[in-house]
Amino acid sequence: MKARYVGLLTLFVAGCGTPSAQPAAAPESTPPPAATTAEAAPTPTEAPPATEATTESPAETAEPPKVEEPGTPREKLMRAHFSETELIRSAVIRGNPSAAIGPAKSLTKMDEMGKMPASWKPTLSAMQKAVARIKNSPDIPAVAAATADLGVACGSCHKKGEGPKVEIGSPPEAGSTVKSQMRRHAWANERLWEGLYVPSDDAWKAGVDALKGDIFPKDALKGVHARSAVATLKRVVESAGSKKTPQDRAATYAQILETCAACHTAMRD
């Protein structure tokens, strides 16, 4: 989609010709006529100024063909939903709930799917209610709760059909720096989210275990609000492993999202 414009510079070099030498005078008294075989030298012409090319080749101007996204309409929809929920969660974690409104609206666009199976209706209804709450919620706690409920809605549908599969792996080492601790924290957050939307008991447990212990160095936390958020997180994590129902896990995950937003906001201030 980028067109390249190539400027063509043409240099014109004009040469001056030299007339032929005149023949020697004849002894006759009448001078011979002037030689007529030598052509007059051409008058030099000034080269036109170089200009940029104004025409483009078809290859440069033609729009590249659109590559059709692979998969069935359902698979395409699931990929879009995954991306949109990632944007929503990221907005909440950053403490910027207004940034969650756009992707939340996109979640309800399903025109390409045509008629939905009847078994999807409860999930779609729960998702639409959560989206409405995200759009109208006045604060982080309300948006965080609606986001967690989105995960539960996704998980309820995945349990009925062929939902996604996840490979849990091992968490990053906690280390002793804020950066290394944040990598571990982010990994744990992803596993907790998978516990809701896949849903996966193993992913939930892995996320809880990765958050246990001293999460951040105390001297790295700026101000009382950041320290308070981390203290709340530790308290929530202590009981998170005992949560078994989707609703209880959603409530716990919403609290964790709140602490993320509070800490990030405090560290920016």
Residue 96 lies in a domain: yes
Cα distance between residue 236 and residue 255, in whole Å: 7
Which tokens go with 180?
């290394």
Q: Mean pLDDT, consecutive 10-residue segments, the chain of 269 residues? A: 34 37 42 45 50 50 65 81 95 96 90 74 92 93 97 92 88 89 96 98 98 79 88 96 98 98 90
Residue 45 lies in a domain: no
pLDDT recorded at residue 114? 65
Task: Output the pTM of the full model.
Answer: 0.73
**By residue range, what is the domain housing residue 212?**
73-268
Cα distance between residue 207 and residue 210, in whole Å: 5
pLDDT recorded at residue 66? 61
Best CA proximity match to 98, nearest among 140, 146, 153, 151: 140
Cα distance between residue 155 and residue 123, in whole Å: 9
Residue 244 lies in a domain: yes
Residue 10 lies in a domain: no
**H-helix segments, the chain:** 58-61, 73-94, 101-106, 121-136, 140-160, 178-197, 201-210, 223-240, 246-268
Residue 140 lies in a domain: yes
Count of domains forming the chain: 1
Residue 7 lies in a domain: no
Cα distance between residue 37 and residue 29, in whole Å: 23
Residue 55 lies in a domain: no
pLDDT recorded at residue 46? 52
pLDDT recorded at residue 31? 47
pLDDT recorded at residue 178? 85
Q: Residues of 223-250 as b/e, b for ≥16 C-beta within 10 angstroms? A: eeebeebbebbbebbeebeebeebeebb
Residue 253 and residue 148 in contact, taking contact as beta carbons nearer than 8 Å = yes
Residue 41 lies in a domain: no
Best CA proximity match to 98, nearest among 136, 63, 151: 136
**H-helix segments, 198-219:** 201-210
Residue where the block lists tokens 């939930």 = 204
